């Protein structure tokens, strides 16, 4: 479900959401993300839509503030990983 690039992004940046590492290997990262029901979306618009669907207030937010949310990880290829903390 999660490709290597997504897993590496999470491993590298997990401290933006968690004070202590929750995974140390790709396999641990994959298991953790599956347990959290994390999602990968293909655009900023899809990040916005995900937040709206989850009932998160984005009415006064702009694109930058959405992408700065701790739960949003920029994968680097135009996709975003969203992990509910």
pLDDT tens-digit map of 4-48 = 999 999 999 999 999 999 999 999 999 999 999 999 999 999 999
Domain assignments of the chain as residue spans, ordered by start: 4-82
Straight-line distance from the first to the last Cα atom of the chain, in angstroms, rounded to the nearest whole number: 19
C-alpha to C-alpha distance for 84 and 39, rounded to whole angstroms: 9
Q: How far is CA 59 from CA 10, 30, 51, 56, 65, in A?
A: 27, 32, 10, 9, 11
Whether the model clears a pTM of 0.95, i.e. scores above it, the answer is: no
- Per-residue pLDDT tens over the stretch 37-58: 999 999 999 999 999 998 888 8
Residue 26 phi/psi, 5-degree rounding, is: -60, -40
Name the 3-class secondary structure at 39. Answer: strand
Widest Cα–Cα separation across the chain? 38
User: pLDDT at position 40, please?
Assistant: 98
């Amino acid at each position: 479900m999660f490709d290597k690039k997504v897993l590496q992004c999470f491993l590298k940046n997990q401290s933006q959401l968690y004070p202590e590492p929750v995974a140390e290997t790709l396999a641990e990262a994959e298991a953790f993300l599956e347990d959290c029901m994390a999602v990968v979306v293909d655009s900023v618009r899809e990040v916005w839509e995900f937040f709206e669907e989850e009932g998160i207030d984005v009415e006064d937010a702009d694109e930058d503030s959405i992408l700065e949310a701790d739960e949003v990880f920029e994968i680097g290829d135009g996709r975003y990983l969203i992990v509910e903390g």
